[in-house]
Chains A and B, each alone.
Chain A
Amino acid sequence: MDPIVGFLAAAIRIGTPLAWAALGEVVAERAGVINLSVEGAMLAGALGGALGAVATGDPWLGVVIGALAGAAISAAFALVAIWGRTDQIIAGTAVTLASVGLTGLIYRQAAAGSTTGLDVQTLEPVAIPGLSAIPVVGPALFDQPVLTYLVMAAAPLVWWLLFRTTWGLRLRAGGESAEAARAAGVDVRLTQTVAVVIGGVLAGVAGATLVLAQVGSFAERMTAGRGFIAIAIVVLGRWHPLGVMVAAGAFGAATALQFAFQALGLEVPYQFFLMLPYLLALVALTGVVGRVRAPAGLGRRLEPADGG
């Protein structure tokens, strides 16, 4: 394969789960919740996807079960952070750590009686007729698993929901000012819970994508910080659904660079390229790419009166 096509295709492939998770996090953060449990929800989605696909034999049912697992983890986070009024950062970290333990436990139980572990049939790339014939861009963008096309369709849908519906307006109002939203009759706690669970569904799909469209099996801690990178992507994408798609592509490209450089036979330790995405995350979080206005109420604990 042409090295440029290979690089671009790898960037998109690696960017896909990041885009799913970041898209979900945009919804949560626009509602005012910084959800660090997205890493845990992704991990749960990966395990759910693997178990679901093995049990049913259908990778698409695996995706659905992965999404539900992600939703369950986020619901647990919402319960603690929003209804229990715990600090969001602490609650998110705790839920992620619990998810690491829980998925490890379930995985060992499930894999104990099996010889193949949790190997699954992956979703094969589907070439879009016509578009995939475009030179360079075609095979890179339009010869991917369906989950990649779905996230490309989900981004404008999320944009539409956030910016063109009453529901989205009220959700964003809660993320800017719980007091003002409440005065306008919004049940902020309920809205935030719904946003977090939607974020969890998308994070679950992100984890399932990792297993079912890329790796082909589950391993403990396999998300390896991708959930946290998704949070950096949200910042880099300026809390905008379409912005995070571009940012996820950039992170995918940073990771894909290592394959490209290795293929070129450059004398750079491969660990340097492993480091690149995390370096990019750091740069994004420190605002080097230009300070933007985060939702004004992001991460704020609700007062009892804000609940509605």
Chain B
Amino acid sequence: MNESEVRERTRKLLEEIHPDTEGVDHVAFRTAQFNHGLAMVSYPEGLGGLDLEPKMQAVVNDELQKNCKVFYESLAINPIGIGMGMPTLLTYGNENLKKDLMRRIFTGEDIWCQLFSEPSAGSDVAGLAMRAERDGEDWVLNGQKVWTTLAHISKWGMLLARTNPDVPKHDGLSYFLLDMEAPGVEVRPLYQITGEAEFNEVFLNDVRIPADRMLGKEGQGWRVAITTLMNERSALGGGSSRKGGGPVALLMKILEESDAVRTASEQAILEDKVTDLYIRAELLRLTTLRAKASQRSGNPGPEGSVGKVAQSELYQQVWEACISAIGDDGLVYEPGYELRRPGEGDDLRSASDAAGRRLTAKYQLLRSQANTIEGGTSEIMRNILGERVLGLPGEPRVDKEIPWKDVPRG
């Protein structure tokens, strides 16, 4: 099927059902989109696709955006399900699971979450401790997961658990699909330093998972998890796409609006700092462009790997400089620290006026502390740069060859 046929097929879909029509919601429209094979065109027929090249999806999206006022962003509807769940399910799920679950992920009827991290397994995810033991046709799970985005509204969770503690850590893991409504699953909000709970803790107490909800084979869990994780880091760390955009634009605006009392030298130092950050933000943007150009030419270089660590540390500095620019009023934190879910109370991420900009900066000063931890800590990212890009030798591993149960933990 060529490009114009894909366009034609997309227009046919819109003749049948249009997202701008009153009464047509995202479930109704995306169900039809899925059934027409226009959800993920590179997927097989019957599973939301048409067996086409992945780039043809851009043609579909372009046609939808051109002809519809309402355009559903997949990553807003079901970020983990669509971004990570669908590719994992496609590669490792059995035919029944694919048929039952794929469409409901795409429509957003089933929200998905990812249950890998544990209190004792952060950067060292493969060292995790949640146990899964076989009992007849089921697996029985016990343990705790943490930092689980969306768990409180999820139907399904991608879960990694230990099925064999007597072999080295990577070899004893298996990958499960967990029904979040199953008996024994308890989700609690995990409040962070802002007072918000974007994340959850998930406790499993004798939770039973039917054996056919294992993805991949027993003991292959790590390999399946890599598929899931590969689809995560690429989403982090490209900087702003616009010259002078992103958080630095906010910083410049806040500096301009600031009437805080400063000595001449304080002001000069602050302006030099802001300019330095402006330059670094611009270079982050340009480095991303350079990485895209070298990818296009088929010679991807190291420029593609530095984004995550550079962006997370840069943005922390930008928000801190915002507080310097705000001055003494930075002592006040207007929204307070009432424990809540995101979206409850003031919107701390929009900055439509001067007061809103200051509030955003104060909130982000705190929220951005996670940037250098989530999705790979800066320390792990530097290991990756050092080892995979520069070819430096790895740290000696004391846990590699011994059974997981003999590895010290804490």
Co-complex (A, B): no
List residues of chain A with CB under 8 Å of any chain B CB: none
